[in-house]
Structure 1
Amino acid sequence: MIQRLPPSLTPLDTALAALLRGVDPVAPVALPLSEAIGCVATGAPLLAAYPPCDIAAADGWALRANDLVGASSYSPLPLTTLPLWVDAGDAMPDGCDCVLDTDAVELSGPLAQVLAEGVPGQGVRRAGIDVPDRTPVAVEGSPVGAAALLLARIAGAERLSVRRPRLRIVNLPGATATMQMIADVARAAGLDVSAHEAGARDVASIAEALDVSACDLLLTIGGSGVGRQDAVVAALVRRGSVNAHGLALLPGRSAAVGRLGRVPAVALPGLPDHALAVWVALVLPLVDRLSARRPRRPRTLPLARKIASTVGIAEIALLAEEHHAWTPLAVGEWPLQAIARAHAWLLIPGSSEGFAAGAAVDAYLMRE
């Protein structure tokens, strides 16, 4: 059976609202640090102050600055006792508040003299300067990055509590490159990804692969259009329901959204640019809801030149940051070289005719 797009396309906002309806954040899981990067933090432990005491920031002689007033190479200051040597990272000896370089102290048998003054804190890392007491390892609702993992390792933590939605991707034969791209961006967004391929492009084979027993979100790749071998929508109807097929969105017009039981499902087109556009416009907001992620922060810059858009269709523009402005690379249709060059994407609402040159626009980074 050939699927036909409806004569009137579903507005993007309507499709997104249907997709998000009834979706709650997934339960937190404790993951090893090596698996937690990119996932959204929750219930992060609080760190004790680090370093726990004043430590040497460089190799040298540990001394007290007030004892060195007036010392210079022209007027060496004799010391009554030999100074203590410290290596970088050593705890500062009691009463010492600075570290002098090796050539600032001259030794002659049991005698020592100082050839330079010091100031309190010179060559010293103060207690708590790196991590104040009761600092959270990661920010609640934000993705875990390399800096958060560093703090966790310093604290001796082996696991972090995060939200990591489980994504099942069902690929149709012939869309492998697109599936691999979506799997890569999904893992970078902190999802637990499992990828599968339907046995064939017919309704029964696709429906058989739509197993949602162990996932929080299902994506299909390819087969959402109106070609003779496009049977994804019929398979979704057989296993669940379809809320919208045919979106007022460019790229991504042939996408569909539905539900298999309580699990939201999105049918992505097989073309890479169309699939990626549906990912940023529909799937990312769903991932953020499942992860309880804080709102993404846009980057606001003026447009280097105008963008024209068709009223009634939401279009997504790819942008490159050049000379402190957004330069449009592609609107509505995305050549692969534009995807490779893009720094950010801009959603142009269906109610808009576009933006004038010089207008400040909010764009979202392709890679955060």
Structure 2
Amino acid sequence: MMFARPNGFALTGVEAALALLLDGLEPVAPVEVPLIEVAGCVAAGQPPLAQALPTADEAVIDGWAFAAADLAGASAYSPFVPVSPPSWVEVGQPMPVGCDCVLEPGLVEEIGPLVQVLAEAVPGQGVRRAGTDLPAGHPPVAAGRPVSPADLLPARRAGVIRLQVRRPSLRIIDIAASDGASSASETVAELARAAGASIPAGIETTGRAVADIVAALDAGSADLVVLVGGTGAGRSDEVAAALAAHGALGAHGIAMAPGRTTAIGRLRGIPAIALPGAPDQALAGFLVLVLPVIDRLTARCPRQAETLPLARKIASSIGVTELVLLRRGDRSWMPLAAGTLPLQCVAAADAWLTVGANSEGFAAGAEVSAFALRNG
């Protein structure tokens, strides 16, 4: 859908922009990554476990192993004296044959060669039963989900040392106005890594002339290219012209706020997104356009939104998709900013949502779904 731009040109709707970026885009091939590097990556399909874990009953406390039936009625007043010395087991060790419980050391007295048990037990006490940790036929880590430190527990339990993940490569090209990368580029890089992308070359920089940008676009390959800066109407803003010269410009000017001067296209079939250099506009462009592309490339499961009523209304302009920042209140969302994103609001926000171009917003008390701004 196209909307009128104030200067007479046409803005491309967000839905149309996403369709151009995502059309025919397939997830990247899985790669194996050592567990030490895998946190934050999106898991791909893992081989199912051949057998359930643990493979045998094992102790979950340090202590003495017994058969619970032998201890019936044991107490400090009527201790049980085993015929043969009991076996000592420690956490994680397999249970001795014929034993189905573990007693803590304080419940067993050793008096010279004599052993007395001062309490009874039930079968399974102090024991992890065979097969109760991980069932056979299931992978240790679910595909399509970002790998968290908690996910690594079952992976390590299964003896896995490398996991298959989808980790698309991303080139970030900063259209430098001065030496070094801009804060917007650094923010985009951090957000992309948190979403599961890799940036093998780090943040690249190039001059603002068309020839410099074209040369930078030719200098490497990746699964996604993001340029930051140089998208506006300034005299040295030449990113759109450089993409057009490369035959890669699909649209310049997206009906979204903030981030209206964003440009998009396909560079040799690869999605290319040029974000404005202003930090809040780059953030909005990342959330609305870059993040869905990374999610497609990683085959990530749909992000989970949280639905709460609005503490006050959100007013929005027809014709433009507006990004809204929210803070979680007492069982409600409190809108902080819409259309423009002061950095103090970014710092205070917990979540975000978009108001579609055909909507005038939401009334106070309306139930709305928002995505986590951090660790989402």
TM-score between the two structures when normalised by the length of structure 1? 0.94
Say if 1:12 and 1:248, in contact at 8 Å, map to a contact too: yes
2:100 paired with 1:87: no
Say if 2:196 and 2:294, in contact at 8 Å, map to a contact too: no
Taking a change above 3 Å as real, the CA distance of residues 75 and 5 of structure 1, as seen in their structure-2 partners, is farther
Q: Which residue of 2 aligns with 1:52?
A: 55
Q: Which residue of 2 aligns with 1:122?
A: 125
Q: Which residue of 2 aligns with 1:191?
A: 197
Q: Which residue of 2 aligns with 1:361?
A: 368
1:162 to 157, 162, 165: 165
Q: Which residue of 1 aligns with 2:186?
A: 180
- Structure 2: gaps of 5 or more residues: 1-5
Task: Please report the RMSD computed on the Cα atoms of aligned residues, expressed in angstroms.
Answer: 1.8
For 1:223 and 1:126, how far apart are their aligned partners in 2?
62
Residue 239 of structure 1, CA deviation: 1.1
Q: Which residue of 2 aligns with 1:103?
A: 106
For 1:294 and 1:5, how far apart are their aligned partners in 2?
40
Alignment of structure 1 residues 235-274 onto 2, 5 Å? 235-274=242-281
Residue 6 of structure 1, CA deviation: 5.1
2:300 paired with 1:297: no
* 1:32-65, Cα deviation, whole Å (9 max, x unpaired): 2233332222221223322221111111111111
Question: Which amino acid in structure 2 is aligned with residue 201 of structure 1?
Answer: R
For 1:327 and 1:36, how far apart are their aligned partners in 2?
35
Question: Which amino acid in structure 2 is aligned with residue 89 of structure 1?
Answer: G
For 2:320 and 2:313, how far apart are their aligned partners in 1?
17
For 2:244 and 2:97, how far apart are their aligned partners in 1?
75
For 1:288 and 1:227, how far apart are their aligned partners in 2?
32
* 1:293-332, Cα deviation, whole Å (9 max, x unpaired): 2222211122122111111111111112222222212111
Say if 1:166 and 1:191, in contact at 8 Å, map to a contact too: yes
Percent identical pairs in the alignment equals 53
For 1:198 and 1:82, how far apart are their aligned partners in 2?
73
Q: Which residue of 2 aligns with 1:326?
A: 333
Q: Which residue of 1 aligns with 2:40?
A: 38
Taking a change above 3 Å as real, the CA distance of residues 212 and 304 of structure 1, as seen in their structure-2 partners, is farther
For 1:53 and 1:308, how far apart are their aligned partners in 2?
61
Q: Which residue of 1 aligns with 2:239?
A: 232
Q: Which residue of 2 aligns with 1:150?
A: 153
* 1:248-298, Cα deviation, whole Å (9 max, x unpaired): 101111101112221111110001111111111111111122222222221
Taking a change above 3 Å as real, the CA distance of residues 272 and 28 of structure 1, as seen in their structure-2 partners, is same
* 1:3-27, Cα deviation, whole Å (9 max, x unpaired): x965332111111111112222222
Residue 350 of structure 1, CA deviation: 0.9
For 1:124 and 1:242, how far apart are their aligned partners in 2?
63
* 1:134-184, Cα deviation, whole Å (9 max, x unpaired): 220221222222233333333333322222111111101146111111111
For 2:270 and 2:262, how far apart are their aligned partners in 1?
17
Q: Which residue of 2 aligns with 1:9?
A: 11
For 1:251 and 1:216, how far apart are their aligned partners in 2?
26
Question: Which amino acid in structure 1 is aligned with residue 123 of structure 2?
Answer: P
Question: Which amino acid in structure 2 is aligned with residue 241 of structure 1?
Answer: A
2:76 paired with 1:69: no
2:247 paired with 1:216: no
Deviates more, 1:214-223 or 1:31-40: 31-40
Question: Which amino acid in structure 2 is aligned with residue 152 of structure 1?
Answer: A
For 1:168 and 1:231, how far apart are their aligned partners in 2?
18
Taking a change above 3 Å as real, the CA distance of residues 34 and 106 of structure 1, as seen in their structure-2 partners, is closer
Question: Which amino acid in structure 2 is aligned with residue 208 of structure 1?
Answer: A
For 2:353 and 2:313, how far apart are their aligned partners in 1?
13
Residue 30 of structure 1, CA deviation: 2.1
Say if 1:212 and 1:218, in contact at 8 Å, map to a contact too: no
TM-score between the two structures when normalised by the length of structure 2? 0.92
SS in 2 for 1:135: coil
* 1:226-258, Cα deviation, whole Å (9 max, x unpaired): 011111100111112322111110111110111
Say if 2:134 and 2:140, in contact at 8 Å, map to a contact too: no
Taking a change above 3 Å as real, the CA distance of residues 319 and 251 of structure 1, as seen in their structure-2 partners, is same
- 4+ runs of 1 displaced by more than 4 Å? none
SS in 2 for 1:317: strand
